[in-house]
Amino acid sequence: MTRLPEPQDPLFQRLNSSISFDIRLWPQDVRVSKVHARRLRDVGVVDDAELAELERGLDAVAAELESGSFEVAGGDEDVHMAIERRLTELVGPVGGKLHTARSRNDQVATDVALFVRDHCKRAIELTAALMGRLLDLAERHADWPMPGYTHLQRAQAVYLGHHLLAYFWMLRRDAERFAAARRLAGEMPLGSGALAGVDWELDRAEAARELGFDRPAPNSIDAVASRDAALDYLAAATLCATHLSRLGAEVVLWSTEEFGFCEPADDFASGSSIMPQKKNPDAAELLRAKAPRVAGDLMRLVGVLHALPLAYSKDLQEDKEALFDAVDTIELSLEAAERMLAGLRFDRERLAEAADDEMLAATDIADLLVRRGMPFREAHGVVGGLVRTATESGRRLSELDPEELRKHSELLDDSYYEILRDRGWIESKRSSGGTSSDAIAVQLEEARAALAEVGR
């Protein structure tokens, strides 16, 4: 006898069912069920023989799920019911004891938290691999001059290694965010029941230890109502995807004929269906496009949780597809970015030619005037005048003669030409974190130390 004797409408069953997507939580659900069974043995709900049967049955169910031979039945609303139903078919009535002292509310919350912790760890591993690739590229291109940009206009010269390291440090922060998300998912919901706790004095601390959590969640209402673990993962993934989109955008830009700074490997590019001369950086373009997708997953879950009363509501079933999509997207993107960079080829001559633009030394000339006592704003105007004179006459800055220099400022002498000689303006950026060779050498050492710490 049930509270609702009438059968569910098939349309409602379709709306209500989550088995089509939450089945992927089966590894976490089996782990949680085994630990819960041991806690039931501790309080006498099952004896040692029954515990052994439950563990044997759960192993058999897991084997079916792993092999793909598991058959979902018509009444399997979600992964939890499916596993319990099949377990009872395999071991008999003792399978029905497993749901003692737990609710699907704390069960799913625990499964999701475990899933997040598992995939935070995976994201950190993939992020570290990409950081390692960037570090390798930065070391091999540490002294390759190129123009740096602001507003997508040539601004100041840098070394390619310095530019690549910018992404290394972005990713280091991403790894830290995934680590923080994993730590924040360290409170175990299991044992919270539907919302008020359970009638059995289960050893929740031992269950948390066995499942790899830091501690049991201290409040049963918060434990079943919260999806912060998923939100924290999605926030970290959104920022990571955003960083990957910027990397992808630059590869797209740099591989154009107009820039010609790099060329993707054939196995990470596509041809055109109609134009045989084309080599399209599709992998980089897709990295660029994945960021709004992951951000959309984040906002989707924020929308579900917005103004949702405590404790559990069926709305929370909508947490999983957004989380699963973000996990799949960011893990694929991180792995693809590392492989794409592995085959990326840079054109040293083209980069150097672009870096040879003497206009990139404008700030250094202004600094020369500042060292001789001129206020920077006045020096800025003087150099602007020099740039205008050179541009209007179709010459390089180094082609202005001494008399022309003196017309702009009596403080300009042969030191002006020394700044422009052999791109010395790159090596002048000696500040910590700058692009000079010495500063990059220090930064590379710091990056190697930082990479060694990722995931510890």
Annotated catalytic residues are: 151, 272
Residue with tokens 């250094």: 364
Q: How far apart are CA 98 and CA 185, in angstroms?
A: 25
Contacts of 49 (CB under 8 A, 6+ apart): none
3-state secondary structure of 405: helix
For residue 139, CA distances in Å to 115, 134, 168, 449 come to: 36, 9, 12, 14
Contacts of 91 (CB under 8 A, 6+ apart): 53, 54, 56, 57
Q: How far apart are CA 133 and CA 426, in angstroms?
A: 25
Axis-axis angle for helices 282-305, 319-342 (nearest 10): 160
Alpha helices in 255-375 (DSSP H): 282-305, 319-342, 348-355, 362-371
For residue 299, CA distances in Å to 292, 295, 319 come to: 10, 6, 11
CA geometry: angle 350, 149, 408, nearest 5 deg: 100
| Omega before residue 311 within 30° of 0, cis | yes
